[in-house]
Structure 1
């Protein structure tokens, strides 16, 4: 019995997306979401681009949730917590 899951178990080589919990998730989605979350943390709510970035994070959070990230990790920032609240 195998006790670990590898990246190729989740998404076979040559495959660009998978369906997890009924949601189509493209490879790189979690990494992109984290990168954008870090960008949001460097902005103030009044900065240009903040609202668009927050909206994008909210839209993509559904996919990150489907992967299970929010089942084991909780955002430290109130801004990110508010974005994923209610998913």
Structure 2
């Protein structure tokens, strides 16, 4: 399966397990995770990244991301687990 098999170029979002997921959600999650984990970032940057991470979690769960991949960073794993509780 290729990316265009999941979402064709002309399509920007799709429905996965009843949740609308925008193209780029996984990439944005990875970028926000890097910002959130970067201790040299400002508290505002890290807070914004955390909010964006939390906002993306329903879509990531709908995609089944965490059914396949395990979060290695302890703090991020706890944030994801806490948000799912």
The yes-or-no answer on 1:77 pairing with 2:76 is: no
Unaligned segments of structure 1, at least 5 residues: none
Q: Which residue does 2:63 correspond to in 1?
A: 67
The yes-or-no answer on 1:6 pairing with 2:2 is: yes
Cα distance, 1:78–1:17 mapped onto 2, change above 3 Å: same
Give secondary structure in 2 for the equivalent of 1:18: strand
Q: CA deviation at 1:33?
A: 0.5
Structure-2-length-normalised TM-score: 0.82
Give secondary structure in 1 for the equivalent of 2:21: strand
Give secondary structure in 2 for the equivalent of 1:71: helix
Stretches (4+) displaced over 3 A: none
Supply the distance in 1 between the matched residues of 2:3 and 2:18 (Cα, whole angstroms): 19
Structure-1-length-normalised TM-score: 0.80
Pick the structure with more helix per residue: 2
The yes-or-no answer on 1:33 pairing with 2:29 is: yes
The yes-or-no answer on 1:51 pairing with 2:47 is: yes
Q: CA deviation at 1:17?
A: 0.3
Q: CA deviation at 1:85?
A: 0.5
Q: Answer yes or no: is the 8 Å Cα contact 2:36–2:47 preserved in 1.
A: no
